[in-house]
Amino acid sequence: TPTLHRRHRPVDQQAAGKVPAVIGRRRMRTVVTGGAGFVGSHLVDKLMARGDEVIVLDNFFTGRKENLVHHLENPRFELIRHDVVKPILLEVDQIYHLACPASPVHYKYNPRQPLYSVGRSQRFNHLNQGLLNSFDYKTNVMGTLNMLGLAKRIRARFLITSTSEVYGDPLEHPQKETYWGHVNPIGVRSCYDEGKRTAETLTMDYHRNEGVEVRIARIFNTYGPRMCLNDGRVVSNFVSQAIRKQPMTVYGDGKQTRSFQYVSDLVDGLMALMEGEHIGPFNLGNPGEFTMLELAQVVKETINTNAAIEFRENTADDPQKRKPDISKAKELLNWEPKVTLREGLPQMASDFRNRILKENEGEVD
Ligand code: NAD
Ligand code: UDP
Ligand code: UDP
């Protein structure tokens, strides 16, 4: 049973004005916004396994009910179709706020170029309307404001999943949490970067001004089972392409770097952060750094030895280097990633193989 902190005790007991001599025996009630998505659904699995009562708020914009189908019959679990841009009333102890249209096809979408590999999935058709940038920003700002308002009213602890993108195209390498970043405020990916920066600002304001207990995670590129097949991120693209026997599309010269974290490591980090005593921000990522050409090589070795490479023009404002300095999380959260790229990729590939097979058989993904 998780320990409850004094300022973090169950809401109904607070409301009744009772402070029990022994606390921490009741179940934790936890909200996960964006819980039907890639990271959120893995987090929900771990919270459910711990014995929490879990409420997921999701508008299924990029998430899928299939990611949570194994919990639907569980009385401790509730799935609510809800857009976090709208207010909501709930009574819970902890809020993990993940909801955000995070996939890069959204903010990198350029109407003059066809979207890469949208496939038969209908989920991304709304992208063609070109309305997504303001939507990204709105979710990050208004959604975060609503969840902070909720946290304030019910005195719940609030965790925001921010991103390494707050560092922009970094001039410091590797990136420490003290780095303020190098972000273009008016570029094609600004809606995401600046949206998350604003979400961090709101989070700290609610902490300082309203006494809300907050936690900030800055997540670096994460991969694993249940990622959208066609979300345009590099790992999902390369893995899908290798399985479909299509060439892997390397953007630019492929010398830009990223550091790839397996999703179970991230979930462990998020929970350590929520349960710990430190606000953050904390970098949560795997410091192993790869060029995109090296990533393609690892995909080739672990998934399809015949996989070929094809070069494509790069998108604007692409960060040249990215690698987390995780000393702060190591020291204060006692956390560090365990799964290497060579161990994680095959696990992701077996999930992708099953889903691509179903897609080919005509089932809706
Ligand atoms: P995802 O797209 O799989 O999940 C996001 C979820 O939020 C989806 O289920 C989507 O339907 C939901 N959502 C979007 N807008 C919503 C709204 N207005 N109301 C309710 N639900 C909404 O993405 P993910 O990779 O699981 O990302 C989860 C979080 O982690 C995001 O906040 C993202 O910014 C952050 N993050 C992820 C990565 C990564 O590499 N995966 C890196 C940095 C940060
Ligand atoms: N909010 C919410 N649920 C709650 C409490 C607040 O969705 O239980 C929303 C509220 O509608 C508002 C936002 O959170 O849009 C910020 O709330 P806060 O009370 O901080 O600000 P105010 O309502 O005073 O502007
Ligand atoms: N990238 C690539 N091929 C692809 C998709 C992306 O080479 O099919 C590159 C992209 O240009 C960027 C890196 O991979 O340099 C990571 O891109 P992603 O969109 O996954 O994440 P982010 O840029 O947000 O870190």
Instruction: Give the pLDDT of residue 328.
Output: 98
Indicate if the alpha-carbon torsion angle 213, 6, 54, 230 is positive or negative: positive
Is the predicted pLDDT of residue 4 greater than 60, yes or no? no
The better pLDDT of the pair 120, 363 is held by 363
Atom of ligand 1 nearest to the CA of 85: 18
Instruction: Give the pLDDT of residue 140.
Output: 94
Q: Which of 120-124, 148-152, 325-329 has the lowest mean pLDDT?
A: 120-124
The better pLDDT of the pair 315, 245 is held by 245
Is the predicted pLDDT of residue 254 greater than 60, yes or no? yes
The Cα 365–Cα 347 span in angstroms is: 19
Whole-model pTM: value is 0.89
Tell me what ipTM this predicted complex has: 0.97
Instruction: Give the pLDDT of residue 25.
Output: 52
Instruction: Give the pLDDT of residue 128.
Output: 39
Q: Is 241 in the pocket of ligand 1 (CB under 6 A)?
A: no
Q: Is 230 in the pocket of ligand 3 (CB under 6 A)?
A: no
Gap between the terminal Cα atoms of the chain: 36
Instruction: Give the pLDDT of residue 364.
Output: 52
- For residue 214, what are the contacts with CB-CB under 8 A and spacing of at least 6? 151, 157, 158, 159, 160, 203, 204, 206, 207, 279
The Cα 180–Cα 164 span in angstroms is: 11
DSSP helix/strand/coil, 290? strand
Q: Is 149 in the pocket of ligand 2 (CB under 6 A)?
A: yes
Q: Which of 24-28, 96-100, 206-210 has the lowest mean pLDDT?
A: 24-28
DSSP helix/strand/coil, 304? coil
DSSP helix/strand/coil, 23? coil
The set of catalytic residues is 192
The Cα 353–Cα 365 span in angstroms is: 12
Is the predicted pLDDT of residue 6 greater than 50, yes or no? no
Q: Which of 15-29, 43-57, 73-87, 152-166 has the lowest mean pLDDT?
A: 15-29
How many Cα atoms are found within 13 Å in the side-chain-facing hemisphere of 57?
Answer: 25
CA of 343 to the centre of ligand 2 (A): 44
Reading the block at residue 34, the tokens are 């964006």
Whether residue 170 contacts residue 322, with contact meaning beta carbons closer than 8 Å, is answered with yes
Ligand 3 test: best mutation among 241, 251, 293, most atoms within 8 Å of CB? 251
When pLDDT is cut at 50, 70 and 90, the band that residue 1 belongs to is: very low
Side chain identity at residue 135, one-letter code? F
The better pLDDT of the pair 119, 324 is held by 324
The Cα 89–Cα 6 span in angstroms is: 23
The Cα 243–Cα 116 span in angstroms is: 16
**What average pLDDT does this structure show over 270-289?**
97
* Nearest ligand to the C-alpha atom of residue 166: 1
pLDDT (tens digit, 9 = 90+) per residue, 175-195? 999 999 999 999 877 888 999
Q: Is 143 in the pocket of ligand 1 (CB under 6 A)?
A: yes
Instruction: Give the pLDDT of residue 17.
Output: 40
pLDDT (tens digit, 9 = 90+) per residue, 106-141? 445 433 333 333 332 333 333 433 445 666 789 999
